[in-house]
Amino acid sequence: MSTGTIDRLQRQFENGTVLPVRRVRQLLSIVGFFVLWSLLVRFEVLGFGLFVGPEQALETLLSALGGAPMTEGGATIYAHAAFSTARVVVAVALAMVIAIPLGLLIGTSRSWEDALFPGLELFRPVPPIAWVPISLLLLPSFRSGVVFVVFIGAFFPILVNTIQGVETVDHEYVRAAESLGAESRQIFRHVIAPATMPSIITGVSIGVGLAWITVVAAEMVAGGVGVGYIIFQAYRLLQTDVVAVGMIAIGILGYVSAALVHRTGHRLNRWQEID
Amino acid sequence: MSEPQSVTETKTESEPTTRTDATGAIDIDHLTKIYDPKGEGVVAVDDMDLHIEAEEFVALLGPSGCGKSTVMNCLAGYLEPTEGDVLVDGDQVTGPDPKRGVVFQENRLFPWKTVQENVEFGPQMRDNIEDGRAQSILGEMGLEGFEDAYPSGLSGGMQQRAELARLLANDPDIMLMDEPFSALDALTKEIMQKKLIEVWERDNRTVVFITHDVEEAILLADRVVVMTARPGQVKDVIDVDLDRPRDPEIVTTERFTELRERALSVIREEAQRALEQEESV
């Protein structure tokens, strides 16, 4: 291939005009993943001999989607997914309701920052999973315990990003608002809050991601129900096809919720688009 | 510093000619601003005196780092003088006030509000939005059709016009402008200068216009106040006795050249001094 052809192809690639080539490459990556999975199982690399191959996993997935119970006499994949989702939604909503106002308060007021932030900073480095035992002990039921752990997972990213968002608001906007006659309450509503919105959205999307990680871990320990519970339960019973289905379900749920947050954030921050 | 005092005197003489209902007179009285008074204080402005008539157009001209922006921030009420006072119509400036509107060098339109919401911001703060007023001001600024656009979708010149529109919608007595056109290309700048003079002549506002562009200062202002290198003081006050309206071609006239040379020689002297100051540090 002459350099001219390479240059042309590269240019087309950069312009996105050789879409088919990109699509093929993307498809190859997915196919490659399944081939690799299949090979690892077939040649029993490491402990893969014990694990299910993609064909059987797909079969179990289809029957699960058809409404077959995940464990003998147990709930369907939909019920487990709904439970995990409900925990994430409740925990993230709680985290938002508490962390956003708290972050705005800490970010705008030095005295509140001094009064609250050092205490919160003590807990921030503790991974959410480490909260599992204490929350199971302290809270009335295992279910509320799981929600609390997930809440911890979502809380800190939202709090920290909100504080940082407030603190990085360009002070010149505040001055401009003052010179236009705005009082401090109006400045908060019309300047600080909207200027902080992109950081809040970033915090929420990190929080949602962490919430999914945390919910699975917490359910493994103390779920009774939920996708994390079913993954671990199936592992104990060596039903590796169910383990695979649970992993796929979590992947899909995480992906969909991230997309939802992204879309909502996009709508709230339309002004950031440059056209 | 004897020049500033002589200026104040000449202004006292002309005071009777001022209309009594005119608002927006500014008195800068022994203004001193020292940054970080506890550490090694940097004197940005040193004992500056200046009187600006109501409805006058004054340009503050000086080398960079001469304290022009500090003076502006004190006028806006963003900074508190270390010593001395800033008075507007006899009242001490204690903080920002919608009577003193500010246009910044880089536009400070709220990026999360549309152009119209930006223009209506001041009236909205006082629950005083009049239907159609924003549109008519935007129309005057040549921004019709952009009401619902966000600032990020506008060109630099349009953003600056929108910011001017936002200021006008608030109907301030005084317009404080800190190098408002310095980031614009030559043609856009010329259009903006013309617009500014148009509004100023019609609405009877006081304008304090900071610039480092000698020609711009002379073209626009009634008086050009040349500042010294840091610490800032008034070095020279040039009365611009050119008839209005002033076309851009006026820069080729003999009188304009004389005024420019006078301003430039003062600035050169100060720039040289600033350089020596830096070297001696």
- pLDDT on residue B74: 93
Please give the pLDDT value at position A133: 86
Residues A183 and A255 in one domain: yes
A101-111 pLDDT per residue, tens: 999 999 988 88
Q: Is the pLDDT of residue A226 over 70?
A: yes
* Mutation site, A179, A183, A267, interface B, largest B CB count within 10 A: A179
The residue assigned the tokens 């917490």 is A218
Examine the domain organization and report whether A137 and A235 are in the same domain. yes
Single residue among B152, B171, B190 that ends a domain in this structure: B171
- Does residue A19 have a pLDDT over 90? no
Angle, CA B180 vertex, CA B151 and CA B6 arms, to 5°: 155
Question: Three-state SS for B109?
Answer: coil
Chain A and chain B share a number of CB contacts under 8 A equal to 70
If asked whether residues B142 and B222 sit together in one domain, one would say no
pTM for the full predicted model: 0.77
pLDDT (average), residues A27-56: 85
Same-domain pairing of A28 and A115? no
Task: Give pLDDT, residue B13.
Answer: 42
Position A61 in a domain = no
* Pair B18, B138 in one domain: no
Same structural domain, B12 and B56: yes
Strands (E), B155-280: 174-178, 206-211, 223-227, 234-239
Distance between B106 CA and the closest CA of chain A, angstroms: 10
The pLDDT value given to residue B8: 42
A62-98 burial code (b ≥16 CB/10 A, e <16) = eebeeeeebeeeebebebbbebbbebbeebbebbbee
Q: Are B77 and B127 members of one domain?
A: no
For residues A64 and B214, which has the higher predicted lDDT (pLDDT)? B214
Q: What is the pLDDT of residue B9?
A: 42
Nearest CB to A181 within list B77, B108, B170:
B170
pLDDT score recorded for residue A200: 93
Whether the predicted pLDDT of A249 surpasses 70:
yes
Tell me the pLDDT of chain B (281 aa) as tens digits.
444 444 444 444 444 444 457 888 899 999 999 888 667 778 888 888 999 999 999 999 887 777 888 899 999 999 999 999 999 998 999 999 999 999 988 888 999 999 999 999 999 998 888 888 888 889 888 888 998 999 988 888 889 889 999 999 999 999 999 988 888 888 888 888 988 998 898 888 999 999 988 999 999 999 999 988 778 888 889 999 888 888 888 888 999 999 999 999 988 888 787 778 777 75
* CB of A273 less than 8 A from some CB of B: yes
A81 and A42 inside one domain: no
What pLDDT, on the 0 to 100 scale, is given for residue A4? 64
The mean pLDDT of A112-125, rounded to a whole number, is 85
Q: Are residues B50 and B22 in the same domain?
A: yes
> Residue A34 belongs to what domain range?
3-46
Residue A273: what pLDDT? 61
Q: Which residue of B has its CA nearest to A269?
A: B112
Q: Has residue A191 got a pLDDT over 60?
A: yes
Residues on chain A touching B77 (C-beta within 8 angstroms): 178-179
On whether both B160 and B95 belong to a single domain, the answer is: no
- Tell me: do B167 and B178 sit in the same domain: no
Note whether B187 and B211 are same-domain residues.
yes
| Reduced DSSP (H G I as helix, E B as strand, rest coil) percent helix, strand, coil of chain B, to 5 | 40, 20, 35
Residue A12 lies in a domain: yes
Last residue of a domain, one of B134, B153, B171: B171
- Whether residue A134 lies inside any domain: the answer is yes
Let me know whether A85 and A34 are in one domain: no
Check whether residue A16 and residue A97 sit in a common domain.
no
Q: How far apart are CA A64 and CA A60, in angstroms?
A: 6
Same domain, B208 and B69: yes
The complex scores an ipTM of 0.82
Q: CA of B242, closest CA in chain A: separation in Å?
A: 32
Residue A51 counted as domain residue: no
With 0-12 CB in 10 A as exposed, 13-18 as middle and 19+ as buried, what is B89? middle
**Chain B CB within 8 Å of residue A167 CB:** no
Query: Looking at the structure, do residues A153 and A268 belong to the same domain, yes or no?
Result: yes
Give the residue on B whose Cα is nearest the Cα of A271.
Answer: B112
Q: Residues of chain B whose C-beta is under 8 A from some C-beta in A? A: 76-78, 95-98, 100-102, 104, 106, 108, 110-113, 121-122, 125-126, 150-153, 166, 170
Looking at the structure, do residues A91 and A38 belong to the same domain, yes or no?
A: no
**At which of B122, B146, B171 does a domain end?**
B171
Average pLDDT, chain A: 86
pLDDT digit string (tens) for A88-100? 999 999 999 999 9
| Total domains, chain A | 2
B170 with A183: Cβ contact below 8 A: no
The total number of structural domains in chain B stands at: 2
Angstroms from A234 CA to nearest CA on chain B: 50
* Residue range A13-42: mean pLDDT, rounded: 80
Residues B16 and B38 in one domain: yes
**At B233, which CATH number?**
3.40.50.300
DSSP summary character for residue A192: I
Query: For residue A48, how far is the Cα from the chain centroid?
Result: 28
B27 and B47 part of one domain = yes
Same domain, A7 and A113: no
Residues B256 and B119 both lie in one domain = no
Domain range for B135: 106-171
Nearest CA in chain A to B114: A271
Q: Is residue A57 part of a domain?
A: no
Read off the tokens for A94. 């709680």
Residue A235 lies inside a defined structural domain of this protein: yes
Give a yes or no: residue A65 inside a domain: no
A267 lies in the same domain as A173? yes
Nearest chain A residue to B170 by CA: give it: A180
Q: Which residues of A touch B104 (CB under 8 A)?
A: 172, 176
* pLDDT for position A14: 65
Instruction: Report yes or no on A147 lying in a domain.
Output: yes
Please give the residue of chain B at the shortest CA–CA distance from A169: B110
Closest Cα in chain B, distance from residue A161 (Å): 19
Distance in Å, alpha carbon of B138 to nearest chain A alpha carbon: 17
Residue of A nearest to B168 (CA): A180
Q: What CATH code is carried by the domain that includes residue A152?
A: 1.10.3720.10
Contact B121 A190 (CB under 8 A): yes
